[in-house]
Structure formats: C-alpha cells, structure tokens
Amino acid sequence: MEHFVEIKPGRKLLKRIFLSINLWFVGKAIQAAAKVDDEVKQEFDALPDGFTFSLGAFPNGPYMVVGKNEKGVVKYMGSKIDTVRLDMKMSLKSIECLFLLFTFQESTPVANSMDRLYVDGDIPHACSIVRIMDIVQVYLLPKFIAKLAIKRYPKWSLKRHTWNRLMVNLRAIAGF
Amino acid sequence: MENSSFEYLCRTKTGFGKNALDHLPSDLSAMDAKKPFVITSKAVAQSGVTAHLIDAFKESGIILGIWDNALNDNLVDTLRDLTDLYNNKGFDAIIALGGGVVADLSKILNIIVSKGPHALKECKGTDNIDAPLKPLVYIPSGICTGRETSRYACVAEYAYDSQFLMPDIAVIDPRMFSKAPWEDMVNEALRSFTNCLESYAKEDNPLIRSYAYTALGVIMEALPNIMESDLPNNNQSQDQEHLPLLAKASVINGYLISNCDTLVCRPLGKMISEKCSAPEGVCMAIILPYVLEFLCKDRETGRILLPLAGIERYCAIPDTQRFGKVLFIIREIINDFFRISNGRVPRTLEEAGLKQEDLAGIVESMSKRTDIESKALALILDNAMSGRSMTSS
Amino acid sequence: MYIPSYYEFCCKVKTVAGHGTLERIPGLLEAMGARNPMIITDKGVSQAGLATIVINAIEDKISIGSVEDDVPPDSDLKVVNHIASIYKKKACDSIIAVGGGSVLDTAKGVNIVVSEDADDLMQFTGAGALKRELKPLIAVPTTAGTGSEVTLVAVIADHDNNRKMLFTSYFLLPDAAIIDPRMTLTLPVHIAAPTAMDAMTHAIEAYICLSKNPLSDAHALEAIEMISNNIMAVMEAPDDGDARLALGTAATLAGIAFSNSMVGMIHTLGHSVGSVCHVPHGTCMSILLPYGLEYNMHKVGDRIAELLFPLAGAKVYATTPRQERAQKCVQYTRDMNQKLYEATNGIHARNLKEITDRDQNPMVPQSKLPEIARTALGDGSIFYNPEALEYDDCLMVLTAAWQGEKLDQSKVRKG
C-alpha cells in the first residue's frame, strides 16, 4: 500500500557509547568508594552478601552491574544484565531519559519524580543505593555540577574532599 | 453541595512535557504492545514530526507501521483497508498522531480489530462496548478539539459513545508541534475555555472541578502569548510554545466533555456556528457569559473566579464582586481578540453573521436537548446577538 | 501555576460518590460484563454491619457469588490463594472489596491470581510484570482516609518465606470506587479524626513535594478544603451524612493526588513510627504534619503559604500578610490537632509521647526514636521530600514531635 511504511527505528550509537563509558566509570567508582569511603562502606555493609544491582536504560541498555560478593567485597561486574542474577534493577524509561540524567539536565530525584525512573526490588535497598550514588557523584563531579545532581551538598572533612576524592578517582580509572 | 452524587471517569494516562515521547516504548510494553500501528495524515507526516516519533523508538527494538493517508472522505472504505493492514501485519496497538479525523479513524479501527468486523455495527450507539479494547495512544500535533481524547467517535453514519474509546495514553510532547493558523488557535482556546469554565461553574463534582481548574490555568497562561504574538496578520504561528499548552487544555477538555453531558454552550455554539461564519469555539465563548448568568442566577458563584484569577487575586477580590469579575474577564478576552484581529474574531452573534430569523430555529432544536426553557434560551441568544448584558433585560 | 517540565497523571478509577451510590454497583458490574461478584471484606467491617448494608443494596439486582470476610489486618499470601480458590470454585467473575487497605491489597492479590491463572504470585511482583487488564474490581472504602481505592500498588505478605511482595501496575487500579456515607457513618470520632488527617496529609504532601503537578495540585486543593470544612462537623455530629460523604470524597481526591505525585517526609517518618511502634497510621500523620511543613519551609514556603487558602478560607488568606501565611498554615494544622484532641476527649494525640494503647501505656517510648529514624532511611517516600533527610535530621524532627514542641527551623540543615 502506497501510504504505508514499516520502519525499524535504528540505534543511537553516540549516546550509547557516551552512556556506556559513563556507566562503566560510575560502576568502577562505586567499587572504589566502597573501599575508600566509610559511609559508602557502611551502606554496603547493611546490604545482604551477594547483593547485585543494575542501573541502565529500558529496554536494551546500556547497563552497569555492581555487586557485593559472599565475602562482602564490592565489585563492578560489567555491563551485561542477562548473565547475572539481579536483586535490584534501576531502569530509566529510555536511553534518552538516561542521557538526561548523565548530562545533569535532570537529577536522580527529579527523574524519579517525573516517572522516568523505576525500581524493581526492595525499597530499603534502593534507598541505600541512591545514597551511595549520591556520595559517589560528590566524589566524581565538581561542586557546581554535583549540586545539580543531589538535593543537599554534604559538608565533608578536608581529607574526604581531597585525599578520598583522589583515591576514588584513581582507583576507578586504574580499576583496583 | 454535598447532597448530590456524582461520577467521574478518565481512563487516560496523560504525559505532558519535555521528552514525553521517550516514555512511549516503555509504556506500550507495560500494556504488552509489541508492534504499534501509527495512523496519521499527509499533512502531519509532511510537517516532519513523525521523525521525532521514530526517534523515540530507536534503541527500543520495536517496529513501527506508519500509515499517513487519513482524509475526510471515504472513511468507511479506509477503515476496511486499515483493518486488513492491521491484521495482516500483526499489529497489536494503535498510535493516533494528529487531529480529529485521525483520532476518529483510530478509535473505530480499534473497535473493529478488538471485537471483530461485526462490531462496526453492533457497537454503535451508547455504552455498547463492555470491555477494554487494544491499547490506543493519542499524540496531538497541532490543533485539536478535545473529541480526540473523549469517549466519542464518529465516522460517516457510524457513531460510538463508550468509556473504552478514551485513549489509554495521551502524550503531549512540545517537539510534535509545528505551526497552526492563528484563528484556529483562537478557536481551540475559546472552545476549551468555554467548556472548562461552564463545567466548573455548574458541576458539583470536585473531580470535574479539578480537571477544569487545571485546564483553565493552562489557557489563562497561554492567552496573553497568543494575543501578544501579533500573528493575525501573517496568519501563521511561529512560536511553538502555546500550541502544546492549548493541546493540553484540549486533551483535558476531552475528558470533561466525556463526563458532563449537560453542557449548554457546546451544543448551542455548534448550532449557531452552522448558521453563521464564525467557528464553534468562538460562538461558544460569545454566549458563555449569558449562559453563566443564567445558570448561576440562584447560586453562590463567586468561586468560578478561582481558576481564572488564581489563589492570590481570587482572595483579594471581595466575595460579592467575584462573579462580576468573571464576566468581565470573559468579555475582556473576547474584546481583545476582536481588537487585535481587526474585527475578524467577532464579539457578538450579530458580528458573527448570525441572522435574527435563524434564532427561533436554534432555540427550538436546543430546547429538545436541554431542560432550559425556550424563553430563557431565546433571551440568552437575544442578548448575545447585540452584546447586551443579561441583567439589563 | 507550577508546571514541571514533564509530568504524568493517571487515575483510571471511575469515582462514584454520593448518598445511595452502593445501589449503582450492579449497573457498573453489568457494564463490564460481570454477573457474579465475590465480596471480599474483613471481620471488623462485617461485624460493624457494613457488609450487610452492601449486600442489601445490591442483592436484588445481581447474584452474589460468595462473601469472604476472613481477611487478616496484614494481608497474607495464604489467604489470597485460599480466597482465589473459592472465587474459581464458585465461578465468580468480579470482586467487590469492602474495607480499608488490607482488604484492598488482598482483593488486588486475588484478582491477579484469578485473572492470570497464576500459581505463584511472585512472578507478578515488581514494575511492569502485569501486562493485561484484570477482572473487574470495585472498591468500597470504609475508612475515609487511606485512599487505597485509587492507588496502583498492593503489598502482600508471604509469612512462610518472611517476605513482602510489592505489586505495582496501572492494572491494579480498581475499575470503580464507591463512596457512600453509609460506610463511614458508624466510624467512631476518635478513628474518624486521624483518618481524615491521614487524607489531609496525603493532599498536603502531594501539594508541596517534588513530584507535584497541576492536576495533582487541583485534586489536593479540593481535598484539603473539603476536609477542613467538614472535619469538625463530623466531630460534633457523627451522624451528619453530608459531612461524612465530604470526608470520604476528599479522601479519594487526596488519594488521587498523592498516587500521582507521591508523598514526602511526613510519610517517611510516619511509616517508620507505625512499623516500629505499631501506632495507627493516621495518628502518626496528624502529629507529624506540622513538622513536615516546618522542616521544608525554607524550600517550599510559597507552596505552604498557598495552602492557607484551602485550609482557612479566602478571608483569612487575604487578611494575613504574605510573609506570615506559611507559618500561619503550620499553626492552623496544630490548632486542628488541638481541636480534635478536645473533640475526642483526649484520645486524638497531639505529640508522639501522648500516644497510648488501649491500656493507657505509652506506645512510643523516647528510646525508640533512634530506631525509628534508622527505619525511615529505608522508606521510598524520602526521595520525594523537597529537603534531604539524613539520620540526624530524622531524629531531630522525631524528638520535637515526641515532645510536642515546635521545630526549631534555624537548626534545619539547608541543602
């Protein structure tokens, strides 16, 4: 029929690459912060051993997976969600919504309040993960950007702001 | 007020604003829809907005079928073709992108593909559909009237009225709007304004009031933009900002007309418009102050100032002056449109080109549809002809 | 008007409110093709004679497949499965849920089992797991507070495996909510007071929190005004059907508002007081309401100021200087609690330390506040609150609410 077309909408490669890199780095940074930062450590301690979670875009990613093994060690576990058993899945409704989040046009609370973010899993665990990610954002981002991403910029000690920040970033890049 | 009973139903989930379209793949998947069929018109397709829709489905893995030949004629044949297309290609949901014709076609197609070909006849009339149909999404892309999101659909002699015709989702994404003629915008604004204000004034129904309050707030925000845009001369809107706002009001207007079947201005305005040169929305707005004065003659009515003025201004105006202020605001809006359009938007029915000899016929047809006495209807029309105020007669 | 750059609004529930609306249930069911409904309720509701009122109102127009009244106060998986098996055995085709939150949760759970023919409810937990319309479900609330007749979640406890299953889907919304004052007419005033304040808190938090939008605002304003205008009338004349109807309608409106814009810290803390000390939800809400306003004042003072209009009316609003409106709004909620305290002969608690159980033992010992504050950090509503809340913040607010002292707003950490 002349007035009819069937279209298979393609990909968004640039956004996908940009977001994959960001997610990879955030995943690594969470792993690093769990070693360096006491508050992040405490939050992870409260989560059950073997707890894994993902953050990504519906329906085909990109994703990052972070988990805590039986010994309580927190590890970035890659970008595939189908090879691991997930206890919690945080998804943005589309890759565009994830892009808004990672370009700081919308903060996590804002994305959440606009129904762009949904969580599959236990709510108290989700609360811990959001707090962990808030802290990690403070480590990774300059203050004026982090302020857009979180509700209340924390008052930290000088050591936490300098030495810990350096360590989190170094470990995230070096991957140890 | 608490003595009465009321009902309200809006089946539609509405998404307003930035990146709204990007929620669609996820929302469709939540309804188990894997292959949506987009119905639109050539005009919409040529404006380029379908690109945004396709973009929103990138990375989703969902395949879209797009058909873009919705026209005003041969609708019954068209429906047959669309049904074949839908079934042969394995679609499982419909996205109506555009205005009234597109929405009507989509709703009726949905009846057929959900219930079978015999439903075209069997489901005609009121409340003859007893279960939800396939997922239906409505996306406005310009001027709309409110019927798109209502419980009504009509193609040729086939007319339907069912709660299950309200779309499951309405998506208003500013990217989907391009341009619209200024006078169409005025008409759309006045139509929603009139329906919303009348239903706010007469329905003792807090749900209706809530929706009407919201839509009126949106219109009051959009009106100055429309007026100041100095557009009646080049007749094309370059500014995309108020079109989505108007669409938002129209979408809510659709929910309201599905829930108030005793509105006066809506049918009366339509009858008047058929006899003169002015469009429906404008006719409705011209008679609105007279209808309000009549409806509100024995009731406490200052409250209807609230959605027009907002909390701050409403509270500052003494109770006894509020209703008068409402009438003043309506007349001011109509006068402003008259002025900036150099008289093309009329202020009275006489200016709209209605003839005195048509009044009796309109009163007669209208009195069959409402319990308002013919005498009162005649008085309303008579005053609206010349722009006299009701109290003076 | 505050318009967020994006928002969603949805309430697919047909709301039917008024005197004599129970009688419309058969017609509503018929329009959905249902002929053999099951009534689900609990012992409390049926002992109060409310189930009988519903049955009497509908039985001459529709056959009732079964009446199940053994829903426990805490919804339970076994009960859900048991009721579902009766539903199938008796060939029911729809559900009428008569009661409060747990009855609704149970009915939603039963509806999933019978509509999806599910053996294991677990596979339907979480967002997006339900993909289709369920069987017709009509909700008849009996408390005028929770708003669960218009919410899209259900929580069902699996006591064997010691877990709570959370279901979220637009398909869980009932098809209709029937607000008939006969259902709340016999509710004692000391219960009517906190449940009305529960609804009030839903509406107020919907109006001031992060996910607010123009449509939820409009519903919230209507709800607040209706509650404010009618709550004392019910206290003075509990058999005032019009006032009861207004409170019932307002509770549904507030439910629609908050299910579209969510709630904030009053619920964060209130849920936690409830779960740690087993205090009724509405009581926690009434007490914490003024504190939630005070804590967020520096962020959303203008929104709080606007609330003075639905609470106190146009005259008070107009005669109060602009910069005093928000504080006056807080004072108004405190005064309301005081009036309810007097109207209920002291049963309606004004602060956490005043809450007692039936034997007059205090239910919230001060020593429990740290545990409550820790629990609060795991409540999802915390993210919708305008100002951030950490453990110390929770404890500070709880301490003030325990004492019944105003919150020292200079001590609130501003983000």
Chains contacting B with at least 3 CB pairs below 8 Å?
Answer: A, C
CB atoms < 10 A from the CB of C391, how many?
Answer: 12
How many domains is chain A built from?
1
- Choose among A4, A10, A97: nearest Cβ to B58: A10
Amino acid occupying residue C63: S
Whether the CB of B88 is below 8 Å from some CB of chain C: the reply is no
Q: Which residues of B touch C329 (CB under 8 A)?
A: none
User: CB–CB of A94 and B25 under 8 A?
Assistant: yes
- Separation between Cα atoms, residue B91 and residue B136, nearest integer Å: 12
Chains contacting C with at least 3 CB pairs below 8 Å?
Answer: A, B
- Choose among C5, C170, C314: nearest Cβ to B18: C5
Whether the CB of C9 is below 8 Å from some CB of chain B: the reply is yes
Which of C257, C80, C66, C261 is CA-nearest to residue C167? Answer: C80
Same domain flag for C369 and C404: yes
Residue in chain A nearest B70 by alpha carbon? A3
Average pLDDT estimate for B22-42: 94
User: Could you give the ipTM of this predicted complex?
Assistant: 0.94
- As annotated, the residues of chain B forming the CATH 1.20.1090.10 domain(s) are 182-392
Residue in chain A nearest C387 by alpha carbon? A151
Same domain flag for C160 and C213: no
In the beta sheet, which residues pair with residue B37? B65, B94
Residue C139 belongs to a domain with what CATH number? 3.40.50.1970
- For residue B391, the model assigns a pLDDT of 61
Residue in chain A nearest B59 by alpha carbon? A11
Confidence check: pLDDT of C162 > 60? yes
Q: Provide the number of CB pairs (under 8 Å) joining chain A to chain B.
A: 76
Average pLDDT estimate for A19-36: 92
- Choose among C4, C9, C242: nearest Cβ to B14: C9
Q: Which residues of C touch B163 (CB under 8 A)?
A: 14
How is residue C135 annotated by DSSP? S
Same domain flag for C173 and C207: no
- Separation between Cα atoms, residue A149 and residue B32, nearest integer Å: 33
Q: Which residues of B touch C12 (CB under 8 A)?
A: 9-13
Q: Is residue C9 part of a domain?
A: no
User: CB–CB of C415 and A152 under 8 A?
Assistant: yes
Average pLDDT estimate for B179-204: 91
Same domain flag for C304 and C318: yes
Confidence check: pLDDT of C152 > 80? yes
- As annotated, the residues of chain B forming the CATH 3.40.50.1970 domain(s) are 13-176
Residue in chain A nearest C122 by alpha carbon? A121
- For residue B233, the model assigns a pLDDT of 54
- For residue C241, the model assigns a pLDDT of 93
User: CB–CB of B207 and C15 under 8 A?
Assistant: yes
Q: What is the dihedral of CA B208, B213, B216, B220, to 10 degrees?
A: 180
Confidence check: pLDDT of A2 > 80? no
User: What phi and psi values does residue C256 have, to the nearest 5 degrees?
Assistant: -65, -45
Residue A136 belongs to a domain with what CATH number? 3.30.1050.10
Same domain flag for C40 and C160: yes
- For residue C223, the model assigns a pLDDT of 97
Q: Is residue A8 part of a domain?
A: no
| Position B390 confidence tier, pLDDT thresholds 50, 70, 90 | low
State the number of CA atoms in the 13 A half-sphere of B249 facing the CB. 28
Average pLDDT estimate for A27-54: 91
Q: Is residue C1 part of a domain?
A: no
Query: Looking at per-residue confidence, does C358 or C249 come out higher?
Result: C249
Q: Which residues of A touch C7 (CB under 8 A)?
A: 114-115
Using CB atoms within 10 A of its CB, is residue A41 exposed (0-12), middle (13-18) or buried (19+)?
middle
Same domain flag for C141 and C195: no
Confidence check: pLDDT of B55 > 90? yes
Q: Which residues of A touch C215 (CB under 8 A)?
A: none
Q: Is residue C346 part of a domain?
A: yes
Q: How far is C141 from chain A (nearest CA, A)?
A: 27
**Domain-terminating residue out of C182, C214, C233:** C182
Q: Which region among A92-101, A115-124, B5-14, B166-175 has the lowest average model confidence (pLDDT)? A: A115-124
User: Which tens digits make up the pLDDT trace of B210-245?
Assistant: 999 999 999 999 888 888 765 555 555 555 678 899
Q: Is residue C6 part of a domain?
A: no
User: CB–CB of C18 and B6 under 8 A?
Assistant: yes
Residue carrying the six token digits 């003859």: B128
Q: Which residues of A touch C8 (CB under 8 A)?
A: 114-115
Q: Which region among B287-301, C11-25, C362-376 has the lowest average model confidence (pLDDT)? A: B287-301
Amino acid occupying residue B232: P
Whether the CB of C387 is below 8 Å from some CB of chain A: the reply is yes
How many domains is chain C built from?
2
Q: Are B58 and B90 in contact (CB under 8 A)?
A: no
Same domain flag for C277 and C344: yes
User: Which tens digits make up the pLDDT trace of B78-100?
Assistant: 999 999 999 999 999 999 999 88
Chains contacting A with at least 3 CB pairs below 8 Å?
Answer: B, C
Determine the structural domain holding residue A39 and report its residue range.
13-170
Confidence check: pLDDT of C248 > 70? yes
Best of B149, B200, B210, B211 to disrupt the C interface (most C CBs within 10 Å) is: B210
| Position B300 confidence tier, pLDDT thresholds 50, 70, 90 | low
Residue carrying the six token digits 């989560």: A47
Residue in chain C nearest A124 by alpha carbon? C378
Q: Are B250 and B192 in contact (CB under 8 A)?
A: yes
Q: Is residue A3 part of a domain?
A: no
Q: How far is A64 from chain B (nearest CA, A)?
A: 17
User: CB–CB of A9 and B57 under 8 A?
Assistant: yes
**Domain-terminating residue out of C153, C182, C211:** C182
Q: How far is C302 from chain B (nearest CA, A)?
A: 11
Q: Which residues of B touch A56 (CB under 8 A)?
A: none
Same domain flag for C196 and C334: yes
- For residue B231, the model assigns a pLDDT of 57
Amino acid occupying residue A23: L
Confidence check: pLDDT of A94 > 60? yes
Following DSSP, what letter does each residue of C365-401 receive, concatenated?
-GGGHHHHHHHHTT-GGGGGSSS---HHHHHHHHHHH
Same domain flag for C263 and C367: yes
Q: Are C44 and C76 in contact (CB under 8 A)?
A: no
Show the tokens assigned to C228: 């404010």
Determine the structural domain holding residue C160 and report its residue range.
14-182
Q: Is residue C285 part of a domain?
A: yes
Query: Ramachandran region of residue A47, left (φ > 0), alpha (ψ -120 to 50) or beta?
Result: beta
Confidence check: pLDDT of C87 > 50? yes
Domain B182-392 superfamily per CATH = Dehydroquinate synthase-like - alpha domain (1.20.1090.10)
Residue C329 belongs to a domain with what CATH number? 1.20.1090.10
User: CB–CB of C127 and A114 under 8 A?
Assistant: no
Same domain flag for C343 and C392: yes
- Choose among B27, B64, B67: nearest Cβ to A9: B64
Following DSSP, what letter does each residue of C39-98 receive, concatenated?
EE--HHHHHTTHHHHHHHHHTTTS---EEE----SS-BHHHHHHHHHHHHHTT--EEEEE
- For residue A176, the model assigns a pLDDT of 63
Same domain flag for C168 and C219: no
Confidence check: pLDDT of B1 > 50? no
Q: Which residues of B touch A103 (CB under 8 A)?
A: none
Query: Looking at per-residue confidence, does A108 or C389 come out higher?
Result: C389
Average pLDDT estimate for B102-126: 93
Confidence check: pLDDT of B2 > 70? no
Average pLDDT estimate for B191-201: 95
Q: Which region among A23-37, A160-174, C99-113, C253-267 has the lowest average model confidence (pLDDT)? A: A160-174
Same domain flag for C256 and C233: yes
Q: Which residues of C touch A129 (CB under 8 A)?
A: none
CATH class, domain B13-176, is alpha beta
Whether the CB of C278 is below 8 Å from some CB of chain B: the reply is no
User: CB–CB of B29 and A4 under 8 A?
Assistant: no
| Position A113 confidence tier, pLDDT thresholds 50, 70, 90 | confident
Q: Is residue C4 part of a domain?
A: no
